Structure 1
Amino acid sequence: MTDQPLNGPDAPRGCPVAHGGGDGLTRLYGPDAATDPIGIYSRLRKQHGPVAPVLLEGDIPAWLVLGYRENRRVLDNPRQFSRDSRIWRDWKDGRVESTSPLIPMLGWRPDCVSQDGEPHRRLRGAVTDNLQAVSSRGIRRHVTHFANKLIDSFAGAGSADLVSDYSEYLPMLVLTRVFGLAESEGRQLAESTALVMKGGAEAIVHNDRIMQILGELAERKRVEPGSDFTTGLLEHHADLDDDEILNHLRLVLITANATTSNLLARVLQLVLTDTNRLSGLVSGQLNISAVVEEVMWNTPPLAVLPGRFAAADLELGGHRIQEGDLLVLGLTAGNVDPEIRPDVGISVHGNQSHLAFSGGPHECPGQNIGQAIIETAVDALLHRLSGLRLAVTPDELTSTASTWEAKLDRLPVEFST
C-alpha cells in the first residue's frame, strides 16, 4: 500500500484527486487494506487531517471523511452533499464503467437513498411505514424461531463457529419471513449479499441474482398478497412503481442483513472475550443494549458509508472539494476521532451520538428491528448453550476488511452438551 504526499490537497482540476491518476494515493481496497483498516485511517488522519484523498476499486478517486464533526456536517447537509450519484463527475465523464464493482454500492437507483428532498421523503415514508408495521408483528418471535433452529444444528456437537453457523445467516432467515420469501432462499441471499458488500469481480453477478429473486417475489405478492414487507410496499399510498418496489426491496434486504449480521458477530465477540460481560448478561445484571452501544462506537457494522457527492465547490476539513467529487464517510474513523474521543477506553454508556446509524435525513430507519434481532439472538444463545466460552484466545480472532466493512472471520466457541 502506498501512502505518499500529493502535490497538495487543494490541487486544481486535472490532478490525481480530481481525475483518477492516483499515483501515491492510498487504496481502500486490496490485500493491504483488508488487514489493517484502522492503521490506514490513523495514517491518513496524520497526513491529511479530517478528510483524506483515497482510491476506491478501479482506482476511482474519492475523499474519505475521517473526522466526527466533518462526518456530521456531510450527513446533515444534503443540499451541499447530495446522495444523488448522477452528479458524480467520474461517472458522468465515463471513468466508472457500468460493470464496476462500485456500482452496486454507489450507482443511482430509484430508491430513497439515491435521492434528496421531496422524492426522498415520499419513498422513505413508504419504507419507514412498513418497517414499523413489520416490527409490530412479532419480530422477536421470528428471531427466536430461527435462532433455535440454527442452534439445534450444532447444540449436540459441543462446539461451533458463531460466525459461519449463526450470525452470518440468522438475520437473513428472519428477513425471509419479513419479506414473504421462502426460507430456503435465505442462505443463497445471505451469500450474495456478502459478496455485493465485499466488492470485486463477483459483485455485479450477485447483485443481479438478488434482483432476480426479489423481482419474482414482487410478482408473487401481486397475486398472493400477505402481511409482509413486500405486500406493504406494493399497497402503500405513496404508489411506488415497479422499479421503485424492486429497488427498495433490494435496499432493505442488503443493508439490513449486512449491518445486522456484522453487528451480531461483533457483539458476541465482545461478550465472549470479556468474562465480566458474559457473566453479567447470564445473571441479568447487565443489559445487552449496553454492549450493543459499545460496539456501535468502536466497531460499527459499516466501517465506511457510501457515499455523498459535492453539489458545488466547497471546503471541508481544510480541503477544497470540487463539484461532483465523491465522498465516502468513515463511520469507524469518525467514532474514534481523537478530537471527540481522546481516550477510547472511557465508557460510552448512555451516549448514543455515534455514527453507526448514519445521520441526517438518510439515517437508518430500521434501528429498532436490528436491535430486536441482536438482543433476541444473544439471549437465545446464552440460555441454550450452557458453559458457553471462547475456544481460542482473543488475539487469535481476526477480521477481513473490504472498502465498506470489516467482518469478523470466525468466532469458535465451546459449550456443554
Structure 2
Amino acid sequence: MTDPSPYVSERPPSGCPVTGHSGAAQLYSPDFAADPRMTYHYLRRFGPVAPVELAPGVEAMLVTDYDAALQVLRSPKTFVKDARRWQALAEGRVPNDSPVLAMMAWKPSSLFADGERHRRLRTAVRESIDRLDQHTLRRYVTRSADALIDRFGPAGQADLMRDYSALLPLRVFIALAGFHPSYENIVLAATTGVLNASGPEAARLSEEFLGHLYDLVAHKRRQPGADLTSWLIAHEAALTDDELVSELYLLIGAGTQPEAAFIGNVLRLLLVDRRFAGNFHNGTVGVEEALDEVLWVDPPMANFSVHYPLYDVRLGDVLVPAGVPTLISHAAVTEQLSMLPGQRIGNRAHLAWGAGPHACPVQDEARMIAAIAMERLLDRIPDVALAVHPAELRWRQGPFARCPESLPVFFPPDAFPVATEDGAAGAPPRWGLTPDPASSAAGTGQSSSSDWRRRVWAAISGKGA
C-alpha cells in the first residue's frame, strides 16, 4: 500500500463525537462534518451497526461494518427500500419540516421500490440510458468542461467547487433530461438544498423542482426529442407521469450533487496529497487511480442506501428493530476494508456505488464524467494550487454527502491555454508542486493563508521561495 496522505491521519483521534440525549451520534453536527472518522471509530464500539441521529428528532441505525453492509444490501426480503415502512414517520414522530424528508420520504421511484416494481422501473431507466451515444456524451462533457474553464481561466483564480464541480454534472444532466439551459440555476438550487438537508427550505425547493419536472414531462409528451425524458416516456414499461417525474428527480439529483461531490473530492486529493498531485506530470499516477482512491477514502455519498427491516433482525450482536431506517455508511465500511494490505488503487471492492439490486445504475457514466472533468482541468490549467492552507478547508455539513464546501485555487493566468475543437490544450500538468508542509506554516502549527499562498506561488512559478 502506498504512503498515506500527508494531511490525513491514519489513526482516528481520541475523544467522542457530539451525541444526543439517547447517546446517538449526531450526523448533522459541524463536528461530524469536520471529522467523520472520529464518529465512525466511536460507533464501531457498539458493533457492526449503531444508533445515530440524521437530523433533530430523526433516529436511525448506521452500518459501519463491511460484511454487515453486504448483508443489508443483498437481503431484499429482509431489508426493503419502501420508505412507507418507516415506523417513526408513520406514527408522526418525525418532524414534518425535517430537512431529511426531501431525501428519505417515499416517492414512486425505483429508489423506494422493491421486487418486480423495482425491476420494471430500473429496467426502463437503464435501457433509456443505454440509448445514449457514448461518443456524443463524452464530447458534450468535454465541451461543457471547457466552457466552464473558459469562464474562470483568464482570471487566474477560482473556487473549483462553485465554478466547476457543481456546474459540470448539472449542465450535463440538464441537457440529458431535455431541459432548456436556462433551468440551470433552478435545478442547482433544488438539488443542493435537498442533498444538504440544511433546513425546511429543502422541502420547498424539492416541491418546486418537481413542478418543473411535471412541466417537462408534459412538454416531451407533446414534442419528444433525443433525450432521457422522451425515451423514458416511450419505453414499453409505460411509466405513469408520477413515475416519470420521480425517476427524473432521482436521475438528475443523483447525477448532479453526488457527482459534484465526487469531482470535488478528487480535485482536493490532487491539491493536497503528494502521492497523486506531484506524480501526474511524470505518468506514475493517473486519473483512474485518483478516482479509485477517492471512492475508497472519501466516497461522495458517505452515508445513504436507506433500508427498512421488515422485522426485528440482528446484525452481529446488535438488534435492529423493524421499521427503523438503516443506512449504510459507505465511508466507514470502505475505510474498514482499506485498512487491509493491498487495497485501494486498482481495487474496486469498495461499496461507494452500493451493492445488490439497488447498486448505482449509472456508475460507469458517473466515473466517465469525473475522469473527463479531471483530464480537461489538468490539460488546460497545468499549474494550480490551493489559495488557502489545506487545514483551512471546510467540509459540507449534513448526514449524506461528503465533500469540501469550497476549493479556492489560483494559477498563473498567462499560462491559461485556449481549448481547440478536438479538446487538446496545454502543457504537462504540474499540480502539487508545493512546498513540503514541514517547511511551511503547517510545520510550525501556525496556519497562514498569505504565507501559504506566497510559498505555493513561488513553487509553481519557478521563482523560488
Q: Same fold (TM over 0.5)?
A: yes
Cα distance in 1 for partners of 2:150, 2:248 equals 30
- List aligned pairs for 1:180-199, cutoff 5 A: 180-199=178-197
Residue 364 of structure 2 aligns with an amino acid whose one-letter code is: N
Q: What residue number does 2:142 align with?
A: 144
Task: Give deviations 1:325-371, integer Å, cap 9, x for gaps.
Answer: 2211111011112xx34358x65222101010011000001111111
Contact 1:37–1:401 (CA under 8 A) maintained in structure 2 = no
Q: What residue number does 1:244 align with?
A: 243
Q: What residue number does 1:93 align with?
A: 91
Cα distance in 1 for partners of 2:133, 2:42 equals 42
| C-alpha RMSD over aligned residues | 1.9
- List aligned pairs for 1:4-403, cutoff 5 A: 23-46=22-45, 48-134=46-132, 136=134, 138-199=136-197, 200-275=199-274, 277-337=276-336, 340-342=337-339, 347-403=343-399
Contact 1:169–1:187 (CA under 8 A) maintained in structure 2 = no
Cα distance in 1 for partners of 2:327, 2:86 equals 12
Larger deviation: 142-151 or 392-401? 392-401
Cα distance in 2 for partners of 1:306, 1:98 equals 22
Cα distance in 2 for partners of 1:114, 1:124 equals 11
Cα distance in 2 for partners of 1:71, 1:157 equals 46
Contact 2:28–2:55 (CA under 8 A) maintained in structure 1 = yes
Contact 1:83–1:309 (CA under 8 A) maintained in structure 2 = yes
Contact 2:18–2:29 (CA under 8 A) maintained in structure 1 = no
Q: What residue number does 1:7 align with?
A: none
Cα distance in 1 for partners of 2:115, 2:232 equals 20
How far the C-alpha of 1:393 sits from its partner, in A, is 3.1
Q: Cα gap change, 1:64/1:281 in structure 2, threshold over 3 Å: closer, same or farther?
A: same
Q: What residue number does 1:413 align with?
A: 409
Q: What residue number does 2:438 align with?
A: none
How far the C-alpha of 1:319 sits from its partner, in A, is 1.0
Task: Give deviations 1:153-204, integer Å, cap 9, x for gaps.
Answer: 1111111111111101111011111111111212331222111011122110
Cα distance in 2 for partners of 1:136, 1:287 equals 22
Q: Cα gap change, 1:347/1:313 in structure 2, threshold over 3 Å: closer, same or farther?
A: closer
Cα distance in 1 for partners of 2:209, 2:329 equals 27
Cα distance in 2 for partners of 1:332, 1:230 equals 32
Contact 2:187–2:209 (CA under 8 A) maintained in structure 1 = yes
Contact 1:173–1:187 (CA under 8 A) maintained in structure 2 = no
| TM-score in terms of structure 1 length | 0.90
Contact 2:177–2:227 (CA under 8 A) maintained in structure 1 = yes
Q: Secondary structure at the match of 2:179?
A: coil
Uncovered stretches (5+) of structure 2, i.e. residues with no partner? 1-16, 415-465
Cα distance in 1 for partners of 2:62, 2:275 equals 37
Contact 2:262–2:403 (CA under 8 A) maintained in structure 1 = no
How far the C-alpha of 1:3 sits from its partner, in A, is 4.0
Cα distance in 1 for partners of 2:156, 2:400 equals 34
Contact 2:70–2:355 (CA under 8 A) maintained in structure 1 = yes
Cα distance in 2 for partners of 1:297, 1:225 equals 40
Q: Secondary structure at the match of 2:138?
A: helix
Cα distance in 1 for partners of 2:373, 2:324 equals 41
Uncovered stretches (5+) of structure 1, i.e. residues with no partner? 5-21
Q: Aligned residues, how many?
A: 396
Cα distance in 2 for partners of 1:2, 1:164 equals 29
Seq. identity, %: 34
Task: Give deviations 1:222-278, integer Å, cap 9, x for gaps.
Answer: 111111111111101110011000000000111111111000011111112235533
Contact 1:78–1:116 (CA under 8 A) maintained in structure 2 = yes
Q: Which has the larger radius of gyration?
A: 2
Residue 270 of structure 2 aligns with an amino acid whose one-letter code is: V
Cα distance in 2 for partners of 1:389, 1:135 equals 35
Q: Secondary structure at the match of 1:138?
A: helix
Q: Cα gap change, 1:131/1:154 in structure 2, threshold over 3 Å: closer, same or farther?
A: same
Residue 287 of structure 1 aligns with an amino acid whose one-letter code is: G
Cα distance in 1 for partners of 2:303, 2:107 equals 20
Cα distance in 2 for partners of 1:280, 1:35 equals 28
Q: Cα gap change, 1:2/1:280 in structure 2, threshold over 3 Å: closer, same or farther?
A: closer
How far the C-alpha of 1:107 sits from its partner, in A, is 1.3
Q: What residue number does 2:452 align with?
A: none
Q: Secondary structure at the match of 1:54?
A: strand
Cα distance in 2 for partners of 1:67, 1:97 equals 29
Cα distance in 2 for partners of 1:244, 1:268 equals 35
Task: Give deviations 1:36-62, integer Å, cap 9, x for gaps.
Answer: 22211111112x122101222232221
Contact 2:338–2:344 (CA under 8 A) maintained in structure 1 = no
Q: Cα gap change, 1:135/1:282 in structure 2, threshold over 3 Å: closer, same or farther?
A: farther
Residue 181 of structure 2 aligns with an amino acid whose one-letter code is: E
Q: Cα gap change, 1:163/1:2 in structure 2, threshold over 3 Å: closer, same or farther?
A: closer
How far the C-alpha of 1:287 sits from its partner, in A, is 2.8
How far the C-alpha of 1:99 sits from its partner, in A, is 3.7
Contact 1:139–1:372 (CA under 8 A) maintained in structure 2 = no
How far the C-alpha of 1:384 sits from its partner, in A, is 1.2
Cα distance in 2 for partners of 1:399, 1:170 equals 20
Residue 108 of structure 1 aligns with an amino acid whose one-letter code is: W
